[in-house]
Amino acid sequence: MRTHPAWFIAFHPHVHLLDMVVIAAYLIGITWFGLRFRKPERTLQSYFLADRNIPWWAIMLSIVSAETSTLTIISVPGLAFAGNFGFLQLVFGYLLGRVVVCIAFLPRYFRGELLTAYQLIGQRFGSKLHRVTALLFLLVRAAAEGVRVFAVAIVVHAALGTGDVASIAIITLLTLVYTFEGGLAAVIWTDVIQMGIYAVGIGLALWMLIYRVPGGWPVIHQVAVAAGRFTLWNFSLNLTTTYTFWAGLIGGCFLTMASHGTDQLMVQRLLAARNLRDSQLALLSSGVLIFVQFFFFLLIGAALFVYYAQAGSGAHFASADQVFPAFIVARFPMGFAGLMIAAILAAAMSNLSAALNSLSSTSVIDLYLRMRPNASNSRRILISRASTVGWALVLFALAILSRTGGHVVELGLSIASVAYGSLLGVFLLGVLTRKANEAGTIIGMIFGFTLNVLLWLQPHVLHFSLAGHFLTLPKIAWTWYVVFGAIFTFSIGYLASFLFRPVTVEQP
């Protein structure tokens, strides 16, 4: 058994040759599998929507896989390691949000031959707002994905000892290869394989923890309960507390409405279903799977707390995000460590491939084709592939810039939440009202986005002087960003639409 101290485990590679073989076999195998979906002749629908011929269960697994990045696997256990099960309250909101998307959004998407979520905005409001929402998606998705891609470096560095840049470059390049060639079909079917790999890895990690703790599950349960690690509910109405029942139910609902109803990364998968019913079934069933998955992630975190508490080494970790990767590298038997690392890399590649395809589809369909509507099919595919390469380079650069401390899962979700509020508000104005117009909605979107930026920058900007005393508003938890942004965008946009009605001239 390896007995290195925690600081050594966290920052030095201890992967055996057999583990390296397993990791290399996965990387080569998944790239080869994805390349099998390349076709000599392509259309935008086949490249970006896989000819709308994907079964619902594959879309379900792909949604879960895309929602489960490396950021999730390494950071969510860290939340329970350092705190409790409070994060799970957010997942109840995820379930409610999926129901709303199935009722309010998906029927509208399936009424026309849409390729992106933002074409719906173009049909409802006009070309200006169409471009604005598409650009906002590109901004927020690229920023959030940069953090997620960086999370790969935490795992690869701990396992292989490679630097951050080299770790990110390896994963980005291999993912780009099959995404570039196979389009959405390659993305979804590799997601299915990758989902299976890290599901096995999660089960293996939990079994290994139970085996490593003297006394097994009874001891884990007893110690974790006494330390409050299994605490779930917090019914406080405090807006500054991140994980409460109300923040989870309301904030999680709005976040999911935005991420699964307006974000091209998820909408693209739902549009690839054979019909509306299959799309709704895939989305709803993915919610159940997400709940089970997050429960096991948090359970691993609580078990890690017990394991390191008994070993007396938990305090040596600089960040809770390092705990799970360090345990895998230091305590898994030969071969199994490689399988678990491959599982984490699978999640990373799954999310990255989805981001590349969705960013490319939005760039081409919502921006390029608006300027070049008569471009030939071959030209469109060429631009689509070039856009995929371009976004891979952008995400690589953003990942390098995203190196920071703290819980990366919270950082990624908070960045996404900044723009999601205004984006969701625009979509709600489009699907729930008839009187909202383009000018008013743009004004509402500007105000909603500004509000979310101010909330995100707290407490650095939201302070003012009153009678010679400086006052700072309390820090609002990121779980409320989307709620406030969406409500503000919807309200201002609806009212502004009455002030900026188009002038109609009566004909004599």
pLDDT tens for 59-99 read 999 999 888 776 677 778 888 888 889 889 999 999 999 99
Q: What is the pLDDT of residues 445-484, one digit of tens each?
A: 999 988 888 887 765 444 544 455 555 566 787 788 889 9
Cis status, amide bond into 214, omega within 30 of 0: no
Helices marked H in 112-163 — which ranges? 118-124, 127-160
Specify the DSSP element, H or E, that contains 292: helix 276-311
* Model pLDDT, residue 6: 36
* Model pLDDT, residue 485: 92
* Model pLDDT, residue 8: 33
The larger pLDDT score, comparing residue 106 to residue 328, is at 106
Contact in structure between 125 and 437 (CB atoms under 8 Å)? yes
Q: What is the pLDDT of residues 19-43, one digit of tens each?
A: 888 888 888 888 888 888 887 667 8
CB-count burial class (<10 Å; 0-12, 13-18, 19+) for 309: middle
b/e code 466-498 from CB counts within 10 Å (16+ = b): eeeeeeeeeebbbbbbbbbbbbbbbebbbebbe
CA dihedral 76, 82, 83, 84 (to 10 degrees): 60
Question: Can you tell me the distance from the alpha carbon of 272 to that of 387, in angstroms, rounded to the nearest whole number?
Answer: 20
Question: Can you tell me the distance from the alpha carbon of 34 to that of 24, in angstroms, rounded to the nearest whole number?
Answer: 16
CA 203 to each of CA 23, 78, 88: distance values in angstroms, whole numbers, following the listed order? 18, 17, 19
* Model pLDDT, residue 26: 85
Choose among 172, 171, 151, 154: nearest CA to 163: 154
The neighbour count for residue 164, using CB atoms within 10 Å, is: 17
In the structure encoding, which two tokens stand for residue 208, read together?
Answer: 């290994």
Domain boundaries, the chain: 6-402
User: Span 340-346, mean pLDDT?
Assistant: 77
DSSP, residue by residue, 150-192: HHHHHHHHHHH---HHHHHHHHHHHHHHHHHHHHHHHHHHHHH
User: Span 287-296, mean pLDDT?
Assistant: 93
Q: What is the pLDDT of residues 386-436, one digit of tens each?
A: 999 999 888 888 777 766 544 444 555 566 677 888 999 999 999 888 889
Contact in structure between 152 and 168 (CB atoms under 8 Å)? yes
Contact in structure between 316 and 2 (CB atoms under 8 Å)? no
Cβ neighbours for 103, distance < 8 A, ≥ 6 positions apart: none
pLDDT at 157 over 70: no
Q: What is the pLDDT of residues 176-208, one digit of tens each?
A: 888 888 888 888 998 898 888 878 888 888 888
Specify the DSSP element, H or E, that contains 466: strand 463-466
* Model pLDDT, residue 426: 94
Q: pLDDT over 70 for what percent of the chain? A: 84
Contact in structure between 481 and 455 (CB atoms under 8 Å)? yes
What pTM did the predictor assign?
Answer: 0.84
Contact in structure between 112 and 52 (CB atoms under 8 Å)? no
* Model pLDDT, residue 409: 46
* Model pLDDT, residue 316: 67
pLDDT at 345 over 80: no
The larger pLDDT score, comparing residue 71 to residue 320, is at 320
Contact in structure between 61 and 187 (CB atoms under 8 Å)? no
Contact in structure between 25 and 345 (CB atoms under 8 Å)? no
Choose among 199, 201, 172, 146: nearest CA to 31: 172
* Model pLDDT, residue 159: 58
* Model pLDDT, residue 292: 92
Contact in structure between 60 and 282 (CB atoms under 8 Å)? yes
pLDDT at 56 over 90: yes
Confidence label for 257 from pLDDT (cuts 50, 70 and 90)? very high
Contact in structure between 183 and 46 (CB atoms under 8 Å)? yes
Give the SS3 label for residue 470.
strand
Q: pLDDT over 90 for what percent of the chain? A: 26
Cβ neighbours for 300, distance < 8 A, ≥ 6 positions apart: 77, 80, 202, 205, 206, 209, 324
* Model pLDDT, residue 381: 87
Residue 502 DSSP one-character state: P
Topology of the domain covering 6-402:
Sodium/glucose cotransporter (1.20.1730)
User: Span 126-146, mean pLDDT?
Assistant: 85
Q: What is the pLDDT of residues 300-313, one digit of tens each?
A: 999 999 988 887 65
pLDDT at 281 over 90: yes
* Model pLDDT, residue 153: 63
* Model pLDDT, residue 4: 37
The larger pLDDT score, comparing residue 348 to residue 175, is at 175
pLDDT at 330 over 80: no
- Least confident span in 109-113, 325-329, 501-505: 501-505
Question: Can you tell me the distance from the alpha carbon of 138 to that of 132, in angstroms, rounded to the nearest whole number?
Answer: 10
Confidence label for 51 from pLDDT (cuts 50, 70 and 90)? confident
Scan for tokens 């099959």, then name that residue. Answer: 178
Choose among 192, 200, 205: nearest CA to 326: 205
Looking at every residue in the chain, the average pLDDT score rounds to: 81
